[in-house]
Structure 1
Amino acid sequence: MMDSSPHKVYHEHDFDSRQHLDQYFSDKPDMVFGDDVLKFPIENLREVFTVGHINGDILVDLSLGSLVHQLFSASEFFKNMIVLKANNRCIMELKRWVDERTGAFYWGHTSTLLQEKEENRDQFEDKEGKVRSAIQHIVKYDLEKENMTEPLVLPPADCVISAGLLEVISKDQDDYIRYLRKFSKLLKPGGHLILVGILGTTYFTVGNDKFHVFTCDEDFIRKVLVGEGFIIDYCKVKERTVVSDLIDFKAIMIIAAHKEK
């Protein structure tokens, strides 16, 4: 059943990627989402890549807005990353950070989330540099095209990571399955898919705009992955701890799976 809500749709309407970062991922004192949307993904993604031995030549990132923290751990295992973005504002914001331009969003506060795990406290600066160096291409995508990056044809990826995206681009279950299928087509046989999902959500707010989110739970995502030929290797769920009207999510999930050859 199609969602009839008046909320905006992420990839169809104007999306202010900088305000999104400021509201949900900044180091401002009133930013209350740190444990849920920063610490939990960063710590679990580090474990996913390390314990799962996920590595290779090419990683493709399909994530919400202009996020980069999901790539910190990946940069230790992939030297070539291709980042796909929905609109020009997201591309410009990410390029500002990659090129270290004045006014780029500051991700340095996330270093404290990694320092406990790293023996060398200087490694985070190296990690930011590794991510910048690894991002080889930033490409705009169109979900309705058979080849999302037309006219470019991407090489098959060893890993696709997607943070917070599938739920905001999907209007219903059929959409979710269709887009997941598109994402999985980017993988080579045996490739890995890592999803950072937002569960039990109906909306999120950026500035004065409310954006649609497809409401789903862990069981649904597991069933879809298995139905698409994936074997699930890792799954962790964190119940919401933050109090805020900006978004009504119930939990954050990290799930990693590999495609059967």
Structure 2
Amino acid sequence: MDPSPYKFYSEHGFDSRQCLEHYVSDDSETNLAADFLEFPIKNLTKTFTEGRIKGDVLIDFSVSAIVYQLYTACEFFKHIIILKIRDRCILELKRWVDSRTGAFDWQHAAKFHVDIEGKSEHFQDIEEKVRSAAQHIVKCDLAKENILDPMVLPPADCVLTFWLMGIISKDQDEYVRNLGKISRLLKPGGHIIQCGMLGATYFTVGKDKLHSMNYDEDFIKKALVEADFVIDHVDVKERTSVSDLTDYKKVLFIAAHKEK
């Protein structure tokens, strides 16, 4: 029997727009954006502006159709490739990239980003930079050992994976296998940056409750070290929001680099 009473994102998908509205919108009622948007943007800005993570190719492999994680990244990489496992996420993301009517409004995230950097005068520029960087959107297949097969991409200098690893992995063994697949996208010495929910067992999108793998900070650190990564930075934030959309206890930001 399936050990989880919830649906699985990889198999069933969800409404990408509702996911964005629930977790990263400018909604003062749930305030989930404090954990799912503001916390990672602060850490990303700090991590990238230190200057150690940069290069030619960045791969983004994140949940739904989020784009805020690319605000700082687009300043440090020549090419950004976005991987998605669901067609619905691709359509939602392309709607924003192409500035179509009805696209999700990310201006609150862009404003938060430029305020952190102290560059509020660049508010309009940052979204256009991300749109220009997000032209390469590729569907991948988690069931394959090489998730891009038959496509061949250059090894990446950095992979971002936000809010995804815990919901595409049914258990710890599958998490380790998925981490191995992501690791193979990186060149030696390349970086991986993750955000995830700690202590979560489910998350809700619309009427659907979906599985989230329950793990802690120690598990993530051990998995990375055993996959030949060196951990560079960790930040953990206690949950502050009040919402029954998900039962996570903390949120985690972690950056590591692959040993050469």
- The one-letter code matched in structure 2 to 1:172 is D
Corresponding position of 1:216: 215
- The one-letter code matched in structure 2 to 1:117 is I
| C-alpha distance in 1 between matches for 2:69 and 2:181 | 20
Corresponding position of 1:96: 95
Q: Are 1:67 and 2:66 matched, yes or no?
A: yes
CA deviations over 1:211-231 (Å, ceiling 9, x no partner): 000000000000110011000
1:160-171 aligned at under 5 Å gives the runs 160-171=159-170
How far off is 1:31 after superposition?
A: 3.9
1:215-234 aligned at under 5 Å gives the runs 215-234=214-233
How far off is 1:144 after superposition?
A: 1.1
CA deviations over 1:10-52 (Å, ceiling 9, x no partner): 0100311011001111123434212111110001111111125
CA deviations over 1:168-218 (Å, ceiling 9, x no partner): 010111000000000000000100000111110000000010000000000
1:3/1:171 contact within 8 Å kept? no
Corresponding position of 2:197: 198
Corresponding position of 1:259: 258
- The one-letter code matched in structure 2 to 1:45 is L
Corresponding position of 2:133: 134
161-170 vs 133-142, which deviates more?
Answer: 133-142
How far off is 1:3 after superposition?
A: 6.0
- SS of the equivalent of 1:72 reads helix
Q: Are 1:157 and 2:156 matched, yes or no?
A: yes
Corresponding position of 1:144: 143
1:78/1:134 contact within 8 Å kept? no
Corresponding position of 2:77: 78
- SS of the equivalent of 1:83 reads strand
TM-score using structure 1 length: 0.96
2:45/2:117 contact within 8 Å kept? no
TM-score using structure 2 length: 0.96
1:17-56 aligned at under 5 Å gives the runs 17-56=16-55
| C-alpha distance in 1 between matches for 2:111 and 2:136 | 28
1:25/1:34 contact within 8 Å kept? yes
- The one-letter code matched in structure 2 to 1:243 is V
1:60/1:83 contact within 8 Å kept? yes
| C-alpha distance in 2 between matches for 1:158 and 1:3 | 37
Query: What is the alpha-carbon root mean square deviation over aligned residues?
Result: 1.3
Equivalences, count: 260
2:165/2:175 contact within 8 Å kept? yes
| C-alpha distance in 2 between matches for 1:16 and 1:232 | 34
88-97 vs 124-133, which deviates more?
Answer: 124-133
Q: Which runs of 5+ in 1 are unaligned?
A: none
Q: Which runs of 4+ in 1 moved over 6 A?
A: none
**Identity over aligned residues, as a percent?**
58
How far off is 1:112 after superposition?
A: 3.5
How far off is 1:146 after superposition?
A: 2.2
